Amino acid sequence: MTDMVLNEAKQAVLSATDADAQGVCPVSNADGDCAILVRDLHVYYGGFRALKDVDLRIASRQITAIIGPSGCGKSTMLRSFNRMNELVPTARTEGQVVFRGKNIYDPDVDAVEVRRRIGMVFQKPNPFPKSIYENVAWGARINGFRGNMDGLVESSLSHAALWDEVKDKLQQSALALSGGQQQRLCIARAIAVRPEIILMDEPASALDPIATLKIEELMRELARDYTIVVVTHNMQQAARVSDSTAFFMMDEDRAGYLVEYGPTRQLFTNPHDKRTEDYITGRFG
């Protein structure tokens, strides 16, 4: 059984391997360039294997959604893109995550530098208990920003569609904002350090439908300048906002693996894999 599942998983990434030869992403944008290339990725927490044998290519300046049932390793996948998994003491990663032509897990790569280029937005809004201004400015300051800080704060907040709502209360506590505003502040905070990629871990799951809609609009807006990878439980959301979708599942040992990866429209309307079809039609999970 396991072998069969494994073979199918291999099949799913076969197209990726073919595309590799041509040097383009299977799901590509107009330029056809690739932001992150994942090869043979395995992630372990102690003796437990959370992710096995993942091959994946993330297209530049697009939104890639990662969907799948609970516990299938979606968040682990996302966190391995900027080495946040390392903050779990027992975590161990095998395989490659290539960013800018370099495996970010090479010993000579500093995780701090990786995270400056690959930012992250979390499931629960987690602004710093400081002022709104300070929330945006802090990341830039610790990264040695020498420019006009007021300008950076304004442009970051504007990009995050929050400027008009907070411009008169920049010195107030960020904790006084609503949940949706806090999440957009976290996005502003992430783009203030000028990353290339923004990882979003269920960014709207703690928000009401209106705030969710705003975040989704914002994601579309940001995809013009940034590569976005988003983990979501909400399949409608994945279908609405993403350009391509990766579907993960877990095997009997609860190790997550990639089942199918392709353009969102194709994955949702005409999935190649029976399991994908079952999942998106709500037959399990």
Partner 1 sequence: MSLTGWSKALSEAKGLKTGDLPEGEELKRFVERRHATGRVWHAVFLASTMVGIIALSALLLNIMDGAFGLVAVRNRVEPGALAIDGVPLQQLSAEQLVTVLQTHLSAAVVRRLDSEQPLAGRSQAELYALVLDRVVSPEVLKAWTLGQSLFGRAEVEQIMAQDFPDARLAFRSWLNPDLLRNTQSSVPERAGVRTAVLGSLWIILITVAVAFPTGVGAAIYLEEYARDNWINRVIQTNISNLGGVPSIIYGLLGLVVFVRGLEPLTSGTLLGLSDPTTANGRTILSAGLTLALLILPLIITNAQEAIRAVPRSLRYAGYSLGATKWQTIAAHVLPNSLAGILTGTILAMSRAIGETAPLVVVGATTFIAVDPTGPFSKFTALPMQIYQWTARPQDEFRRIAAAAILVLLVLLLTLNALAILLRNRYSRRGY
Nearer to partner 1 by Cβ, of 9 and 235: the residue is: 235
Q: Which string of DSSP letters, residue by residue, matches 43-83?
A: EEETTEEEEEEEEEEEETTSEEEEE-STTSSHHHHHHHTTT
- CA-CA distance, 84 to 103, in Å (whole number)? 15
CB of 134 to partner 1, least distance (A): 10
* Residue 115 Cβ vs partner 1, minimum distance, rounded to whole Å: 5
Which spans of this chain sit near partner 1 (rule: CB under 8 A)? Answer: 82, 84, 87, 89, 112-113, 115-117, 119-120, 122, 124, 126-131, 138-139, 142-143, 173-175, 186, 189-190, 193, 282-284
In whole angstroms, the minimum distance from the beta carbon of 16 to partner 1 comes to 27
Mark out the alpha helices in 143-263 (DSSP H runs).
149-159, 163-166, 179-191, 209-222, 235-241
Closer residue to partner 1, CB minimum distance, 130 or 220: 130
Give least dist CB 57 to partner 1, A.
Answer: 23
Which C-beta is closer to partner 1: that of 42 or that of 117? 117
To partner 1, the closest distance from the beta carbon of 260 in angstroms equals 21
Q: Which residue has the tokens 């705030």?
A: 211
Paired tokens of 169: 């209360």
Query: In this complex, which beta carbon is closest to partner 1, that of residue 39 or of residue 116?
Result: 116
Secondary structure in 3-state letters for 227-253: EEEEECCCHHHHHHHCCEEEEEEECCC
Reading the block at residue 192, the tokens are: 């203030």
Rank residues 14 and 142 by Cβ distance to partner 1 and give the closer one.
142
